[in-house]
Amino acid sequence: MPYSIIITNNVVMKKILAVLAMMTVVAVSAMAQELNEQDLSIDKIPKKNVMSVVRSAYQVFPEAAKTLYQNYIEKYGVDADALVTSGFMMIADNDLDKALQTLDTAIDCKKGKNKETTAYAYIMKGIVYYHTGEYAKGEESLSKSIKANKKQAQAFLHRANCRAALGNAQGAFEDYQKAISIDRNNPEIKIEYARFLYENNSKDAAYDILNQLLRENPYENQVRFLKLQFCFSDEKYKEAIDEYMIYAQIEDVGFNTANLLELAIKDYDYTIQKMDNIIKEGKTKDFQDLWRLRRGHVKLVLGRDEDEGLKELQELSKNCSDSSRIAGDIAVKLANYHIGKNDWAQGIASIETAEEIARKENREIPYNWYVAKSNAYEELGNIDKAIEAIDTAIFNIKDEIKESGYSIIMKRSSLRKEKGRYTEAEADIDTLLSLFGENPALLYRKGDLETKQGNKEAGKAIYEKILEIDTVASIESYRMFALACLGRKDEAKAWAEKMIEISDSVLYSVTYYNIACMYSIMGDKAAAIENLMTAVENGFESCAVIRKDNDLDNIRDSKEFQSIEKIICAK
């Protein structure tokens, strides 16, 4: 199977919602802000506040908010504020094109029209354009919002962001200043201004703003994390570590293992010293144990004091009860350690300990635990258990399927295929095609599975489809494999030459590996072995891939292949 990576990303809508959630363009009364789901009644809320309440409640109580919206329409009819709110809900549902059309309708609507609703509609349009990379359109919309209402700090703020993205530093500077003059107590504006100053070589001024904000509110972790990022970028690692340790103590959800490890890589001794001090000064055993866990994990992962780290986690595991908030985390970190050391059985045992603790605490078990468990079972050769674990992982993904499901569903398809469960394996590919659309990688796998089920004509039609959509030579191209499967050997070889031409030395290992697969598919064993050896010479070293890739089945029994496999898997 071609060796490649597919990455999916779906963060634009979340960014837009985060911005809209902070906006205060249309005032909501204190009464509206305190409403709960039961209070979302058309008879309890003044007409002028209903749409503001709908927007505020939509992300928390979407169904109740929709009902309130419909009741408003039935009672008062469609007006400009209702259309603005409809646009807001469409943005929340990630229907951005329709949202923009609805906001245009709101702007043109005469019923209930006032400068606030018009300005709000233009602001929302501007924010959508900014976060989808259409900065000129964003600037235009936000300028119209300002024309409708010149007292909106948010409009100046977001126009500043658009102007900065367009390279108009002076215009951005003036807009940030104007936004601050309108709303001096809004930290969000000052944070964006500090970021702008830093990116435009006014670093001292940026640090001054952040330090002032932290003096005013030491618990403002968004500010502290931005300062941490600035310090890290400027190679002020001790300052970055200082800020991070405060950040992590203020807000547990602010703790991120990857960030801590990245800082520890830059200054390991200082990171450990800071954690030693935090533990020493900790006022409760639970707090001290939490930071012992973090310290042990850093030692374990970075390998500077691996034995000490392992001992610390093992002692914590023995001494804390299953009800401890860190018991499950300890088990997971030990599981990752054992799996990293290829101690698959111990890794599975540690994950199962973590699962048991989570169930006792009635906590949701992260799907990645089951993915790790599946990987370990696969390495032990227990494919049925690997499938069982990955089934549970997919069930637990739930609403994150679009963001996180690709690699996991693909893994289940591969496991099912390995067990000869081709129909189920193909069903997984069909799921991915429905979620992510047609792409050559998925179609190639579907064609392979159809062929394995004896549906050669169906497989052939799918390979032909790949040739229609995969016409550009790139590292992700599947055209070469489709041609090979169709028996069009000369065309496949010509495409392989193109692949070599566009590759650089960094990609040679992948390119030659894929060419080896192509020759194996076509039955040219000598050429397959030659290209596979070239891939190894250029850095190919994936033992897992070479052992499981059925595209290499035609050469797997040869002595030459087995010698190459030993070279790779001995590393």
Task: Report the CATH number that the domain containing residue 115 is assigned in CATH.
Answer: 1.25.40.10
Integer Cα distance of 186 and 461 in angstroms: 60
What is the radius of gyration, based on Cα positions, of the chain?
29
Q: What is the mean pLDDT of the chain?
A: 87
Task: State residue 518's pLDDT score.
Answer: 94
Within-domain flag for 143: yes
**Is residue 163 pLDDT above 70, yes or no?**
yes
Cα 513 to its chain centre, rounded Å, is 29
Task: State residue 70's pLDDT score.
Answer: 93
Pick the closest to residue 485 from 457, 518, 509, 512 (CA basis).
518
Within-domain flag for 170: no
Pick the closest to residue 211 from 233, 231, 238 (CA basis).
231
Planar angle of CA 191, 193, 197, nearest 5 degrees: 120
- The model's confidence at residue 383, banded by pLDDT at 50, 70 and 90, is very high
**Is residue 446 pLDDT above 50, yes or no?**
yes
Query: Domain limits at 542?
Result: 503-571
- Residue whose structure tokens are 């994950």: 351
From 28-42, 146-160, 167-181, 333-347, the region with the lowest mean pLDDT: 28-42
Planar angle of CA 333, 337, 339, nearest 5 degrees: 115
Give how many domains the chain has, as a whole number: 2
**Is residue 35 pLDDT above 70, yes or no?**
no
Q: Which residues contact 314 (CB under 8 A, 6 or more apart)?
A: 334
Task: State residue 323's pLDDT score.
Answer: 55
Contact 443, 412 (CB under 8 A): no
Within-domain flag for 358: no
Within-domain flag for 118: yes
Within-domain flag for 128: yes
Within-domain flag for 424: no
Integer Cα distance of 371 and 362 in angstroms: 20
Within-domain flag for 530: yes
- The model's confidence at residue 473, banded by pLDDT at 50, 70 and 90, is confident
Sign of the torsion formed by the C-alpha atoms of 175, 179, 181 and 184: negative
- DSSP helix/strand/coil, 471: coil
From 225-229, 396-400, 529-533, the region with the lowest mean pLDDT: 396-400
Last residue within a domain, chosen from 149, 174, 209: 149
- Check residue 81 and report its DSSP letter: H
- Check residue 305 and report its DSSP letter: T
Within-domain flag for 422: no
CB 201: neighbour CB atoms within 10 A?
10
Provide the b/e sequence for 120-129 (b: ≥16 CB within 10 Å).
bbbbbbbbbb
Task: State residue 346's pLDDT score.
Answer: 92
pLDDT in tens, 516-532: 999 999 999 999 999 99
Integer Cα distance of 466 and 460 in angstroms: 10
C-alpha pair distances (Å), 374 with each of 13, 365, 383: 32, 15, 8
C-alpha pair distances (Å), 458 with each of 37, 197, 448, 462: 52, 59, 10, 6
From 5-14, 126-135, 212-221, the region with the lowest mean pLDDT: 5-14
Contact 494, 477 (CB under 8 A): no
Provide the b/e sequence for 147-181 (b: ≥16 CB within 10 Å).
ebbeebbbbbbbbbbbbbbeebeebbbebbebbbe
**Is residue 502 pLDDT above 90, yes or no?**
no
pTM of this structure? 0.67
